[in-house]
Amino acid sequence: MLSEAERQAYRRDGFLVVRDFAAAEACDRLVARSYELIDGFDPKSVSVFTTDEQTRTTDAYFLGSGDTVRFFFEAEALDREGKLQVPKRRAINKIGHALHDLDPAFAAFSRDPRLKSIAEDVGLGDARLLQSMVILKPPGIGGEVGAHQDATFLYTDPISVHGFWFALEDATLENGCMWALPGGHRLGLKRRFRRAGDGVVFEELDRAPLPLPPEGYVPLEAPKGTLVLLHGLLPHWSAANRSPQSRVAYSLHVIDGAAHYPADNWLRLGPHMPLRGF
Ligand code: FE2
């Protein structure tokens, strides 16, 4: 699927932007499906998701979302008492984390044979679909996602996670496109997010922090239909969305079934949900 030049660029930079991967209609269908799911969501349980404050805001609702489909609010969507300040469709930060297994529309999109080939191209010998989410970045309040490495959250030994990130709508500088640090996947893993007792902790693995954005990071503006391939160790972040345009993206994370998956990873799959390939 990927040319030799693309494979080289991915090895060098830790990311690869593939334009026009998905048809506009396919993107529209997933956006429409996302809002349908939100419409059917009864916001009884609330979990606000920001990467920076994950330890503080993590709760059982989040920790139990690995093998189901749950909804997480934008921090700015709720007032101090947890009351919604904006319409529900404009309030959701993300939907996760097993859409690729449980929702027919996302499952079909995620099991595109081209993705299987790309997974092989990047060296996944036994690719397994671990986690998926819709990231909505709603207009006006879509939160910043601080610089991080996906392997912090989706750890295997050896590290094997790769991200497939799809722009379901145009991602621009104005609405909070992703930024990546070229070559930053060679810096090693800085920290690991893991379970400890009933909660979770960030375990520091390297005292040198990730380079602080935006210095050295490049914006990955991505028209609708673009696939951005992300190495699990690549530092990336995205700004808040203060524009009137939403920035809906779908992200799918794939690991190697041959790598060890530790029992203290935050994401756990119940016995009803085997870790399946493409
Ligand atoms: Fe990420």
- pLDDT tens across 128-171, in order? 999 999 999 999 999 999 999 999 999 999 999 999 999 999 99
109 alpha-carbon distance from chain centroid: 16
Is 270 part of any domain? Answer: no
Give the model's pLDDT for residue 79: 79
CATH code of the domain containing 20: 2.60.120.620
**pLDDT confidence tier of residue 45, bands split at 50, 70 and 90:** low
Percent pLDDT > 70 in the chain is 95
Domain count, the chain: 1
User: How many whole angstroms from 270 Cα to the centroid of ligand 1?
Assistant: 24
As beta bridge partners, residue 142 has 241
Q: In the prediction, which pLDDT does 44 show?
A: 65
Residue at 16 is within a domain? yes
Question: Cα of 179 to ligand 1 centre, how many Å?
Answer: 10
- How far lies 112's CA from each of 11, 30, 115, in Å? 23, 14, 5
pLDDT in tens, 7-31: 999 999 999 999 999 999 999 999 9
Within a domain: 9: yes
Q: What is the rounded distance in angstroms from the CA atom of residue 214 to the CA atom of residue 237?
A: 9
**Residue at 30 is within a domain:** yes
Closest CA to 90 of 106, 71, 105, 67: 71
- The alpha carbon of 154 and the centre of ligand 1 are apart by a number of angstroms equal to 10
Going from the Cα of 275 to the center of ligand 1, the distance in angstroms, rounded, reads 20
List the domain range (segments joined by +) for residue 101: 4-256
How many Å lie between the centroid of ligand 1 and the Cα of residue 145?
A: 8
For 183, left (φ over 0), alpha (ψ -120 to 50), or beta? left
Q: Pick 107 or 62 by higher pLDDT.
A: 107
**Does any domain span residue 271?**
no
Specify the pTM. Answer: 0.94
| 85 Cα to the center of ligand 1, angstroms | 27
pLDDT number for residue 53: 53
Question: Is residue 263, in this structure, part of any structural domain at all?
Answer: no
152 Cα–ligand 1 center, Å: 9
Q: Which residues are placed with Cβ below 5 angstroms of ligand 1, an ion?
A: 150
129 in any annotated domain: yes
What Rg do the C-alpha atoms of the chain give, in angstroms?
A: 17
Arithmetic mean of pLDDT, 202-224:
96
The answer to whether position 264 is within a domain reads: no
- % the chain with pLDDT above 90: 86
111 pLDDT above the threshold of 60: yes
CA 52–ligand 1 middle distance (angstroms): 12
Strand order in the sheet with 249-256: 15-18, 227-231, 162-167, 249-256, 127-135, 92-97, 69-73
Cα of 197 from ligand 1 centre, angstroms: 25
Tell me, in angstroms, the distance from the centre of ligand 1 to residue 150's CA. 5
Confidence of residue 104 (pLDDT cuts 50, 70, 90): very high
Average pLDDT, the chain: 93
